[in-house]
Structure 1
Amino acid sequence: MNELQELVKQCGVELYDTEIANENSKVIYRVYITKEGGVSLDECESVSRLLSPIFDVTPPVSGEYTLEVSSPGLERKLSLPKHFKASIGELVKVQAAELKILGRLVKADEENICIENDEGIFEIKILDIKKAKTYLEW
């Protein structure tokens, strides 16, 4: 992951996350990139052009796959402390053990997050989070 971070930085963007997805019996290796002010289509293409020949030699997954490079989107998965820190002030959905909570992310550090909603402020350990993402109210 550190090598990938350094490669992506060469294109002027930051690595947000990666994932392997199976869709319509095809394997997709997704690379999510981000930067202040948003990511352009040209930046996604630059990262893809940089990574494609490297992945031809050292594939990120075994077998056939498709490489996709994109921004994480407005409703994005949160899994690392840096994801939570960058999302302070946004609405989030979090599932941890038996707890499911929706609210505004008001604080985040390396170990915990705090979510505020009509019921109060909830502090949750990042290690206890099973699933988290930002969401938009329409």
Structure 2
Amino acid sequence: MGTHSAQGATAERIEHVLVAPLAALGLDVEAVELTPAGKRRVLRIAVDTDGGLTLDDVAAATKVIDRVLEDDGPDGGAKALGELPYTLEVTSRGVDRPLTLPRHWRRNEGRLVKVSLADDVTLTGRIGANDDEGVALDVDGSVRRIGYADVRRALVQIEFNRRTPTADTTDDTTDDTMDKDAD
């Protein structure tokens, strides 16, 4: 048990030293997990940004993380990690993580979400307009305003074969463009 709490503290220290350098790239640190893997450890760092994470973002984040963790300064990651070797994995936040901050809601606007409220009510609806206090949730055509303080848990739902007005508009635009090119 002592080892686990020490690992938690280490993950917290690593997150602490990475927040500012990754923020300079426009990236948010969403999670830091340090798990044993034989004689090594796996350091998994989830990052996210507005507009979605790109491979270039992951590459830039990896370089910054490597540099910070190699630093031997007073708050450097090398001291946070100790002497054990580790494997670094930089990943996206992932849809399986609960929406816990206003930015999570903003970045998932338009997606279907299952929300468990503090009063034991569960709703499934589409994320609409949102701000720092709450979100408008479209539940079967009826919009309901929910304060984040009332949300116990919220998970984005995976949708297959979703038809969106945006996709239809894009298709129309593509058709118009093709017609113009044909002329």
Q: 1:51 aligns with which of 47, 65, 73?
A: 65
When you count strand as a share of all residues, which structure comes out higher? 1
Q: Which moved more, 1:66-75 or 1:52-61?
A: 52-61
Q: 1:36 aligns with which of 43, 51, 60?
A: 51
Give how far 1:104 is off: 0.2
Q: 2:106 aligns with which of 85, 100, 121?
A: 85
Alignment check: 8 A CA contact 2:29 2:45 kept: no
RMSD: 3.4
Give how far 1:95 is off: 1.8
Alignment check: 8 A CA contact 1:76 1:135 kept: no
**RCO higher in structure (CA 8 A, sep ≥6):** 1
Normalized against structure 1, the TM-score is what? 0.70
When you count helix as a share of all residues, which structure comes out higher? 2
Q: 1:22, 1:67 → 2: CA distance? A: 11
Q: 2:130, 2:81 → 1: CA distance? A: 31
Q: Which residue of structure 2 lines up, in the alignment, with residue 17 of structure 1?
A: 30
Q: Which has the larger radius of gyration?
A: 2
Percentage of pairs with the same residue: 24
Q: Sort the Cα spacing of 1:75 and 1:31 in 2 relative to 1 into closer, same or farther, 3 A.
A: closer
Q: What stretches of structure 1 of length at least 5 have no aligned partner?
A: none
